[in-house]
Amino acid sequence: MDLQTTTYLFVGASFALYLGIAFWARAGSVSEFYVAGGGVHPITNGMATAADWMSAASFISMAGLISNMGYGGAVFLMGWTGGYVLLAMLLAPYLRKFGKFTVPQFIGDRFYSKTASTVAVICLLTASTTYIIGQMTGVGVAFSRFLNVSSDTGIYIGQAIVFFYAVFGGMKGITYTQVAQYIVLIFAYIIPAIFISLNLTGSFLPQLGLGADLAGTDTALLAKLDQVVTDLGFNQYTTTSAGSMLNMFFYTVSLMIGTAGLPHVIVRFFTVPKVADARASAGWALVFIALLYTTAPAVGAMAKLNLHSTVNTAVMSNGDLYATESSLKNEDRPDWMKRWEKTGLLKWEDKNADGRIQYYNDATKNEIAKSKATAAGWKGNELTVNADIIVLANPEIALLPNWVIALVAAGGIAAALSTAAGLLMAISSAVSHDLIKNVFNPNISEKGELLAGKIAMAVAIVLAGWLGLNPPGFAAGTVALAFGIAASSIFPAIMMGIFSRTMSDKGAIAGMLSGLLVTLFYVFAHKGLFFIKGTDFVDMVGGVNGWFGITPEAVGTVGAIVNFTVAFLVNKLTAPAPKHIQELVESIRVPKGAGAATGH
């Protein structure tokens, strides 16, 4: 069976599965629509949470980022997994014990203020809408390559699928659909990695293959990769960092607390029966996420080695490898390159008209690599490879069977759709429950609220599709920006709501607004948006390194510090939380009956 037919079969079967589950698990009440009735098993919820979390960014982009960044890509592994530790230890059990449907509802009740709830909705909508752009773009990329349609058409198809199982099923339909999507995406990620690890190192486990010797040699895979990339003028793979030490620290912290503050992830812990189940769910989610995250470094390294092996050839001297040079002729480039060129994510330009693809680093300071390239007639790097194709193209680069390539296509689409559904659910509940029910129309009936939730979901799907079709100018950083927004606005408010008895409504509101504004201001100034380039501030923030070397992707940590600082300062200057709120906070944190045996 040819590749196109196999891909249609795999993707079509996965869609039929999702739609069948959605029909079976359709929501009939507000509780089922918002929190799946609150009766989801912890293992099921852990798997759904993992799918909700592992978006197109995790499945499609993360290994590509690691492949490009090398050692510096560890910030994503540390930040995103570390965030779940924070969730399990500091947030999930207490939020579940509070017993509300949504994050803005918790903030509104804890800080006894509809204004606080409304500000939380604004922060939630900003983070979720920003995040969803990347998911819809991922859907378009996967469809355009594997289903032989335009990316625009791919987004329309993705909208239709999500509309059916999210609008009709609500959180109940989304939960069980995400379980199926997790199974699809994890097999789609691990099976190609096993094949490639066996081919390159003979090791069945990619995690072990990353540190093993290449098959039939005494050369370690990473040592070979280091030599190949440095010969071409790129930085050494195993030592490249993500900027300064300060930036790497801030970047990691921003990803961690951003993860713990993402509303579509937090809401999953409202779907389990008991507080203990919320903690167990976070633990199971970590297990399921670890299957992909421990595999990603191996996928990134092996894909990079395979890519360079395709484009370049090893030059031997007395039996020893001493250099790598570009040698692939245009007419000899493999079919996978031709297929990906059609998407625009892989581009080749013959700058010196020699008919060969020369893949060197334009910015290299390696004089040996530069002189070798110049001697070969080099006039600039001729190959551009978008990091987002690394995982999707990896099986094709390694010449794996068609069914493996088709499985990866189904996995990439599943990853994007699962997170898109979770984000849309968070947006829908924020509008229907937190704005319409709690602010504008408190007397709305359950049936009316359910209808409002479905309408809000439908509008959000249309908006998400439009943003995917017309992404803003700073779309490349949208995922990191979403984490920064969650880190700087939502996470501090939840932490203070749980662990500070006296934090007032005014302190929380001031903190959220200041954290959000600082983060957005820095990102937009760095991108040169809304500000005139050439001014002292924009030059300082928008330079090569930014303010103190902090990149826009890491500024969420700065926003969180500002949030905490402003909140506590305002709290000192205003009346503390009322006594009944302080007692409520104490009851959330301390188990019922604690200290009874000692009389305290």
pLDDT tens track for 239-262: 766 567 788 888 889 989 988 888
Q: Give the H or E element holding residue 29.
A: none
- Confidence category of residue 533, pLDDT binned at 50, 70, 90: very low
- Close Cβ partners of 330 (under 8 Å, ≥ 6 residues apart): 348, 350, 355, 356, 357
**pLDDT over 90 (residue 81):** no
Query: What percent of the chain has a predicted confidence (pLDDT) above 70?
Result: 82
* The predicted structure's pLDDT at residue 465: 82
pLDDT tens track for 114-163: 999 999 999 988 888 888 877 777 777 777 766 677 778 878 887 887 77
- Confidence category of residue 487, pLDDT binned at 50, 70, 90: very high
CA distances from 248 to 85, 294, 358, 406 (A): 19, 20, 32, 36
Which of these ranges, 31-40, 237-246, 326-335, 552-561, has the smallest mean pLDDT? Answer: 326-335
Residue type, 497: G
Q: Give the H or E element holding residue 244.
A: none
- Confidence category of residue 366, pLDDT binned at 50, 70, 90: low
Cβ atoms 432, 449 nearer than 8 A: yes
* The predicted structure's pLDDT at residue 314: 39
Residue position matching structure tokens 């909705």: 121
pLDDT tens track for 54-65: 776 677 777 777
**pLDDT over 70 (residue 592):** no
Q: Which two tokens stand for residue 254?
A: 């921003």
User: Which of 75-84, 378-387, 553-562: highest mean pLDDT?
Assistant: 553-562
Higher per-residue pLDDT: 374 or 258:
258
Q: How many CB atoms lie within 10 A of CB 81?
A: 17
* The predicted structure's pLDDT at residue 212: 92
Residue type, 425: M
**CA distance linking residue 574 with residue 509, whole number of Å:** 12
* The predicted structure's pLDDT at residue 471: 67
- Confidence category of residue 329, pLDDT binned at 50, 70, 90: low
* The predicted structure's pLDDT at residue 518: 92
- Confidence category of residue 522, pLDDT binned at 50, 70, 90: confident
- Close Cβ partners of 482 (under 8 Å, ≥ 6 residues apart): 127, 128, 130, 131, 134, 258, 262
**pLDDT over 70 (residue 317):** no
Residue closest to 414 by CA, chosen among 57, 137, 55? 55
pLDDT tens track for 154-213: 788 878 877 776 776 677 778 888 888 888 889 989 999 999 999 999 999 999 999 999
- Could you tell me the sign of the dihedral formed by the alpha carbons of 503, 117, 427, 27, in that order? positive
**pLDDT over 80 (residue 334):** no
- Confidence category of residue 321, pLDDT binned at 50, 70, 90: very low
* The predicted structure's pLDDT at residue 564: 97
Beta bridge partners, 316, equal 321
For residues 430-438, average pLDDT: 83
**CA distance linking residue 105 with residue 114, whole number of Å:** 9
* The predicted structure's pLDDT at residue 98: 79
Q: Which two tokens stand for residue 591?
A: 């188990």
pLDDT tens track for 546-559: 566 788 878 899 99
**pLDDT over 50 (residue 322):** no
**CA distance linking residue 109 with residue 97, whole number of Å:** 14
Beta bridge partners, 232, equal none
**pLDDT over 80 (residue 32):** no
* The predicted structure's pLDDT at residue 574: 92
User: Which of 371-385, 495-509, 525-539: highest mean pLDDT?
Assistant: 495-509
- Close Cβ partners of 543 (under 8 Å, ≥ 6 residues apart): none
* Average pLDDT across the chain, whole number: 79
Domains and CATH numbers, the chain: 3-8+11-65+73-82+102-302+399-589 (1.20.1730.10)
**pLDDT over 80 (residue 231):** no
User: In 3-state terms, what secondary structure has residue 574?
Assistant: coil
* The predicted structure's pLDDT at residue 36: 64
pLDDT tens track for 2-15: 777 888 888 888 88
